[in-house]
Amino acid sequence: MLGKAVQDAMNEQIKNELYSAYQYLSMAAYCESANLPGFAQWMRTQAREETEHAMKFYDFILDRNGRVVLRAIEEPVVEFGSPLEVFERALEHEQKVTAMINDLYGLAIRENDYASQTFLQWFVTEQIEEEKNAGDVVETLKMVGDKSEALFLLDRELGQRRTVEQPAD
């Protein structure tokens, strides 16, 4: 049985993961409007992953005989000054998510909830990858600067990103 404190925190994390998906969709829309379809594809893939993360929490709560209670999702940021700003915000957001996951893991430890600790370990590891991926693009964009040819090539490279379930076109 899932304890109330962990259940409530996991319900909050469902909201946070869905907000992440919403924010990445907003970033994708900005990239589309800036004629950067590869950047948009990268963000859309990220949005799908965040939705999958929310569903992992959803299913885990149910598997532990808990109660899923969905909460309101905030409006995402919609205006960005540049592709670099988009990815800097994505990196900042992933760092916040890492802190949320760490707090949730700490709660599971305090509650002696070993099953939740095991479940959350996947997210702890996943956040290392999430921060690295966004950080790598930030560093590349800083190197690229305002060189349109390099931005074009990076856009094409980012457009190759696919989720495991998503076949290439």
Tens of pLDDT along 116-160? 999 999 999 999 999 999 999 999 999 998 888 888 899 999 998
pLDDT score recorded for residue 148: 86
Whole-prediction pTM: 0.91
Is 165 among the domain residues? Answer: no
CA angle 35, 136, 28 (to 5 degrees): 30
Element (H, E) at 70: none
Is 163 among the domain residues? Answer: no
Least Cα distance to 46 among 137, 113, 107 occurs for: 137
On average, the pLDDT of the chain sits at: 94
For the chain, the domain total comes to 1
Is 164 among the domain residues? Answer: no
Is 127 among the domain residues? Answer: yes
Least Cα distance to 96 among 8, 16, 28 occurs for: 16
CA angle 115, 120, 126 (to 5 degrees): 150
Is the pLDDT reported for residue 13 higher than 90?
A: yes
Percent above pLDDT 90 for the chain: 88
Helix (H, G, I), strand (E, B) or coil at 145: coil
- Domain of 135? 4-158
Tens of pLDDT along 28-53? 999 999 999 999 999 999 999 999 99
By the 8 A CB rule, do 2 and 31 touch? no
Is 169 among the domain residues? Answer: no
Find the CATH number of the domain harbouring 58. 1.20.1260.10
Task: State the average pLDDT over residues 89-113.
Answer: 98
Is 56 among the domain residues? Answer: yes
Is 69 among the domain residues? Answer: yes
pLDDT score recorded for residue 147: 86
Tens of pLDDT along 63-89? 999 999 999 999 999 999 999 999 999
Is the pLDDT reported for residue 168 higher than 60?
A: no
Is 99 among the domain residues? Answer: yes
